[in-house]
Structure 1
Amino acid sequence: MERKALAPYAALSKESLGRRFDEPFKDSRPAFERDRDRIIHCAAFRRLEYKTQVFVNHEGDYYRTRLTHSLEVAQIARGIARRLSLNEDLTEALALAHDLGHTPFGHTGEDVLNRLMAEFGGFEHNRQSLRVVEELEERYPGFNGLNLSWETREGIIKHSSEFDHPDASDAAEYRPEIQPTLEAQLIDLADEIAYNNHDIDDGLKAGHIRQEDLVGLDLWDETSRLVSEKFPLLDQERHIYQTISHLIGALIEDLVVTTASNITLHGITDLESVRRHSSRLVAFSPEMKRKNGQLKSFLFHRLYHHYKVERMRVKAERFITLLFETYISSPFLLPFNYQNKFEKAGRERVICDHIAGMTDRYALDEYKRLFEPYERV
């Protein structure tokens, strides 16, 4: 039932290594389409609506959340997959799942939990995403998790980017010595295309950066000039939106052309040759990588370390640290369904799971319930 025109090196549902548990299915959807649907309907996916991307949820309804970010990554990734004749269902499943294990308060939450869990196996959100789909979701008879296909689970644990440093050494089942599918590889850069461009939009809207601050960045200057020539009478707000839209298009075009060239250059003829290759094949051209690096450096210094973002980071670090330490010292404060898991998973890991699964809003409310004397418990 998959699209007939897939490239010979695309991942196919019929060639999947399968699921961990046998189960009867109610219909004949291809394996990767079923994976995507299970991800969309799981609780961890819904909670992304109230998890921080850069701006905490209560700062405004306009800004991206982990959910809207994941949807933008899926849209970009699926378009790339279609142009390269890759499996769009697997691509979309991986895009929608890539942040399932993210903590409240963005990368601050991840850093804090990793520090607090240093003696108990640490914390990394790709590993947590895998834990969500393999263990923490409880929806199906006979097993925990979502029982996703091997290739989907492999793509989750092997996701990597500027902010993600997965360690697959404790996931030998997913063969860390081989390359992931091209569908999994392209998620890394689709993620980067999405967050670089929507963070510019959100940063400008918040007033943390100004349009004139972007002047001097090669990619922004070139694209802004192109938009001015194409639409000379646009007002400033629409000019910004169109510049960001054209930026996304330019990055996608470069990635598709460069990746197709890499596939031809290295004689990639099937999935096995993708897996055996010495490095990842999905890439930007060297010049686009340089220009995009300029943009990332700008955002890192001017937006992610803006004093207002830093103030929220300090607050978030305090919230999560206090929650964790309080639960550790008084574990019976946790709901019974978490206490019941202590024996199997260990108290610290269960507490970590509980906090990692919180939305920003729930974490703030829990902080109030535990530490504000007149707040109802």
Structure 2
Amino acid sequence: MIEDGKLEERMLKQDKRSGDVRTEYDRDEARLIHSAAFRRLQSKTQVLGLGESDFYRTRLTHSMEVAQIGRGIVQFFEKSDKFQKYHDFLPDMALISAICLAHDIGHPPFGHGGEVALNYCMRKHGGFEGNGQTLRILGKLDKYTERNGLNPTRRMLLGVLKYPAPYDKLVNPEFYKANTDKDAPYWLFKAKSQKPPKCYFNEDQDIVDFIFKDFDKADVNKFTVVKPNENKHQSTCYKSLDCTIMNLADNISYSLHDLEDALSLGMISQTQWEKYFKEKKHLFDDLFIEDTDSNTEFAKYESITQMLFSSEGFVRKHAIGLLVNYMIIHVIIEDNGSGCKDELLSLEAKLTDKAEKLRSLLCDIVYELVILDENVQQLEFKGQKLIIELFQVLATDPERFLPKSTKVIWERATQNLPVEEHESAQLRVICDFIAGMTDDYATRFYEKIFTPNKGSIFDRL
């Protein structure tokens, strides 16, 4: 592994203030927590629409839970003798916390509906993808510095780089064309047909070059290899060790905490649960076996079901806690098969096969009974259409409708660029502006423009 001093470098050199005793990763975490992008997560949809209830999770509370699970995974590795040989490569608590807290800051309003909408609008100009936007906010957009965003350390940037390849290398334009009805209104399409490739943006190549600056070139080539896919977009193959810990924490949280929300709000009934597991009950039982090595609490399908559908909230919470703990103590570290020499690029954290099977079962029931619920999909579509129409208005006459501060950025976006790149650069500014909106801000902005009885010249959005 390259020495830690190099991984603590920032794109813009910033010396510590006098008397500051924090580590560089403490500074990363502090900057993230105090950033506007992080605060906005409190008003961005996780799964269910904001305003439906004050109970369920937003992007902010989800990110906090991911950070807690991420720290739990690292603590498990640190305190388990069987992972002792990996201790020198593990992230410290401030670093993994910062990576996990930051993982969703690039997501636009209205969840994946907003992501699909912005990618649809930007598909000929570099696309849009939430994880790519996270990297962009950290490295360029946030107002902590003039041009370098939060100016994080290289290792933090590596930890949030989930997909180490640019849009142009992964996109399959034919995938978009094959699934578009030319006679439909411009805002009407099947969401699946306009999903973006998982990538970073071409114009953020300088951030990625900075991340990999001191890594062996052969390692970088192996790590950034692309997997071909004839009918869809191409995809990347590997994530860094820190990123796999964050991604695993995210997957665990998504599977279990969204399940908890759905159960508490009555979106999954015991009848639906039992019908779903009718043919899979034996799989569930096989997973929870007495494990003296890890001291796993014994639980079968029947007892988990009884706890999850208890009328007492603390009993449900105990069941969710049991499942989270089960997964954390069944995380392992393995070689990822990339052939890289540097341990940060060659190692991955993953669940054991049994634990992953359980996580997948729970994730699938949330997806089938909650995410695909027609009411959830209708709300997502409404947000999708709203974002597209907002984009169309702002892109058609930006000098008329953009807020003054954003208009300045829009005007400067073409500096030092060839004429053929001007349109894409200015559309990216509009895309950044909309992506940074909360659900509520986007709705009010839309109403001010489109709804006759809404808005006033004295409004301050």
* TM-score computed with the length of structure 1 as normaliser: 0.85
Structure 1: distance between partners of 2:447 and 2:305: 53
1:28 is aligned to: 21
Q: Given that residues 76 and 328 in structure 2 are in contact (C-alpha distance below 8 angstroms), is that contact kept between their aligned partners in structure 1?
A: no
1:337 is aligned to: 405
2:133 to 128, 135, 138: 128
How far 1:225 moved relative to its partner? 4.7
Q: How does 1:100-139 map to 2 (within 5 A)?
A: 100-139=105-144
2:370 to 300, 303, 307: 303
2:352 is aligned to: 285
Structure 2: distance between partners of 1:360 and 1:230: 36
Q: Deviations over 1:246-285 (max 9, x none)?
A: 1111111111xx32xx37x99x9xx9542453xx521111
1:155 is aligned to: 159
Q: How does 1:348-363 map to 2 (within 5 A)?
A: 348-363=427-442
Q: Structure 1, unaligned stretches of length 5 or more?
A: 1-8
Cα 1:67/1:276, change in 2 over 3 Å: closer
Tell me which amino acid in the other structure corresponds to 1:157: L
1:4 is aligned to: none
Q: How does 1:166-177 map to 2 (within 5 A)?
A: 166-168=198-200, 170=202, 171=205, 172-173=208-209, 174-175=211-212, 177=221
Structure 2: distance between partners of 1:62 and 1:146: 31
Q: Deviations over 1:105-137 (max 9, x none)?
A: 111111111111001100011111111112211
1:91 is aligned to: 96
Structure 2: distance between partners of 1:227 and 1:12: 49
Q: Deviations over 1:275-332 (max 9, x none)?
A: 453xx52111122222222222222221101011011012111111111111111212
Q: Given that residues 157 and 166 in structure 1 are in contact (C-alpha distance below 8 angstroms), is that contact kept between their aligned partners in structure 2?
A: no
Structure with greater helix share of residues: 1
2:263 to 177, 184, 204: 204
Work out which of the two has the higher radius of gyration on C-alpha atoms and give 1 or 2: 2
How far 1:15 moved relative to its partner? 4.6
1:43 to 30, 36, 39: 36
Q: Structure 2, unaligned stretches of length 5 or more?
A: 79-89, 165-194, 213-219, 224-237, 289-298, 414-424, 457-461
1:54 is aligned to: 47
2:172 is aligned to: none
Q: Given that residues 49 and 67 in structure 1 are in contact (C-alpha distance below 8 angstroms), is that contact kept between their aligned partners in structure 2?
A: yes
Cα 1:133/1:369, change in 2 over 3 Å: same
Cα 1:374/1:61, change in 2 over 3 Å: same
1:5 is aligned to: none
Structure 1: distance between partners of 2:257 and 2:248: 14
SS, match of residue 108 in structure 1 = helix
Cα 1:213/1:122, change in 2 over 3 Å: same
Alignment: residue pair count = 353
State which drifts further: 76-85 or 343-352.
Answer: 343-352
Structure 1: distance between partners of 2:306 and 2:449: 56
